[in-house]
A and B are shown apart, each in its own frame.
Chain A
Amino acid sequence: MKNISGFERRFIVSGLKENIRSDGREMFDYRDITLQTGNLPQTNGSSLFKLGNTHIITGVKVEIGEPLKDHPNEGRLEISVECCPSASPEFEGRGAEDLNSELSGAMNKIMNTNSALDLKSLCILERKKCWIIYIDVLVLDSDGNLFDSVSMGIHAALSDVRIPKIRVVPGDKVGDLEIEVFGEEESRSLDTSKVPICITFAQIDGYNIVDPTIQEESCMSSRVTIAVNKDQNICGMMMGGTSGIDTQVLIQLTQLSIKIGPGLYKALDYMTKQNTTKLNQKNNLII
């Protein structure tokens, strides 16, 4: 985390008493969100997501593979998050390893379940073939609040994904089966209505704020990330930081996240809709 002086910290904390943060936001205000989908033409789905100065690029590739032994009639997601070394000085070399595994693990936990996506619809042949959705997230620039940005970037990329239509035909040899893949015009999209997004609360001296910047993150004593979906259900909870959180406070935060969720989804949907009108004119990389 970026190091800041005790005086700057004092200023941030006294600002929280008045409900004013460093950029004039209030405790539960999110920064400006910008979203573009379909930036990477070589992928099946992609998004460029910006939350303030945090820039996240997500690429989704769908491949045919074998289902897991304990889920023979389901496909799966494989999410990998990487923080680019140029995003922040502490990501240089192997500095980002812990953060990468934490983010990847968190995203896998909340999204790779039947309650987020219909994994059964990704099955092609029971026990033999299924769709595997590889999601690769790259943090290009970090200004705090990576959990929320990564989850929203993944949500946007998944809503942009087009899975090709396939047909199973008998192969050359007897008993063999081959998969015929149709063109893009006959692809289907995923139902992302239940995909959750994360809402992070940072606790600074007893005050809880949403969407911390990198300076506020260096003052926080603990962080709670709550995953909510469109139906206002809690899908997961993660904690970080050095100090603990009171149970009463935790309950208040979960209720708060349910209230904040719909506003975020509204903004995401509005921007995704704006992008789908340009779907037929797929541009080159727009950054």
Chain B
Amino acid sequence: MNVQVVNLGEVITNENESIRGHGTFQKDGNLVSSVAGIVHRVNKLVSVKPLRSRYHPEVGDVVVGRITEVLRNNWKVDIGARHDAFLGLSAIILPGGVQRRRTSTDEMNMRNFYKEDELISAEIQKINYETFKISLHTRSFKYGKLSDGQFVTVPPMLIKRSKSHYLVLPNGVLLILGCNGFIWLSIPEESELKIKKISNWFISTTTELQELEDEINENSNKSIKDKNMDLETNNFDFYKKKEKMITKEQRLEICRVRNAVLALSNSFLPIYPTSIMLVCKKSIEENINPKEMIKQKNMIILTSEVKELIK
């Protein structure tokens, strides 16, 4: 694959026919790059995508955000982009799953839904490019308040946009990969799921890779269905979030996945289920405890297989 990496000020091309896209400017008849990154060409449109930048939101992205303010009829959410996003009161699921008009009582009860500093997962509904207003919504059972888990941050460009960002890994860890680089790790609601030990997992051939993806999708869908139950039972239970009982083994698995994500982020490798599982598997093969995974020398060993896969 031919990839052109350019640096700041490097001449990309000197054809006058190219249309300049983002990250480029014209100088002395040449098209020069204004950022350090990779050149993208679509017919005549030439643009440069920077290697490291703030999260650039797109409609339909799944993001994890932190509530910063509670306003009159919406919440302000920090998603790590250049502007804060807004989650409107009409964009959330009401307890009982009813569809009705939001009243002033709802406005008074906003803190019963989401408070300051709480983490949510949501989808970007629309972006108003004139006022830079980013609107979020949590109108599905896989979105909403995040509780009893860990929060990790990685550079946003390491997370590829894919079909599903709400994943249940085979070792029983719930992973929400926000496109903005904010990642949530927890344990899914029910244990009907097929939990398989990582040591029994082989991810060398493409058929096994497909099996892995199928299993992840199956587990993820089961988990979303169980979340649905929560909604129908009680008022506000969906938002109150009772404490989940997490066993010691489950907690160690969360630590393992967390350190795997950080190891990948450290080596600037893409973060998606296969790469995370490869790192976890390697840590078991090499007998590396989760707490030792974050050491520099171990990180190199763990990410070696992923680097091979990327090539």
A interface residues with partner B (beta carbon < 8 Å): 3-8, 10-11, 14-15, 18, 20, 22-26, 29, 31-32, 34, 52
Contact = CB atoms under 8 A, between A and B. Distances in A.
B248 A20 contact: yes
Contacts of A20: 248, 251-252, 255
A4 B294 CA distance: 23
A10 B117 CA distance: 14
Given A5-B117, A5-B118, A10 B151 contact: no
A22 B290 contact: no
Interface string B23-35: 0000000000000
B171 to A, nearest CB: 14
Contact of B290 (A4, A14, A23, A52): A23
A23 B258 contact: yes
Interface in B270-306: 289-291, 293-296
Contacts of A6: 115, 117-118
Contact of A22 (B150, B293, B295): B150
B243 interface: yes
Contacts of A52: 294
B69 to A, nearest CB: 12
B271 to A, nearest CB: 17
Given A18-B248, A18-B251, A20-B252, A10 B293 contact: no
A11 B118 CA distance: 13
Interface string B182-197: 0000000000000000
A24 B291 CA distance: 4
B255 to A, nearest CB: 4
A18 B245 CA distance: 12
16 contacts: A5-B66, A5-B117, A6-B118, A8-B119, A11-B147, A11-B150, A14-B243, A20-B255, A23-B255, A23-B290, A24-B252, A24-B290, A24-B291, A24-B293, A31-B294, A32-B294
B238 to A, nearest CB: 14
B259 A5 contact: no
B48 interface: no
Interface in B241-266: 241, 243, 246, 248, 251-252, 255-256, 258-259
Contacts of B290: 23-24
A25 B149 CA distance: 16
Contacts of A8: 119, 149-151
B2 to A, nearest CB: 33
B76 to A, nearest CB: 14
Interface residues of B, number: 30
A89 B127 CA distance: 27
Nearest to A22: B150
A52 B295 CA distance: 9
A15 B295 CA distance: 21
Contacts of A5: 66, 115, 117-119, 147
B122 interface: no
Contacts of B118: 5-7
Nearest to B298: A32
Given A20-B255, A26-B291, A7 B248 contact: no
**Most B CB atoms within 10 A — which of A7, A25, A31, A34?**
A7
Interface in B203-252: 241, 243, 246, 248, 251-252
B296 A32 contact: yes
A98 B198 CA distance: 48
A31 B295 CA distance: 9
In the A-B complex, list the 9 residue pairs whose CB atoms are closest, starting with the nearest: A24-B290, A24-B255, A7-B147, A24-B291, A5-B118, A3-B117, A25-B291, A18-B248, A5-B117
Nearest to A26: B291
Contact of B119 (A7, A15, A32): A7
B148 interface: yes
Contacts of B85: none
Contacts of B256: 24
Contacts of A32: 294-296
Contacts of A15: 251
Interface string B103-122: 00000000000011111000
B146 interface: yes
Contact of B148 (A7, A23, A24): A7
Interface string B136-159: 000000000111111100000000
Contacts of B248: 18, 20
A34 B116 CA distance: 37
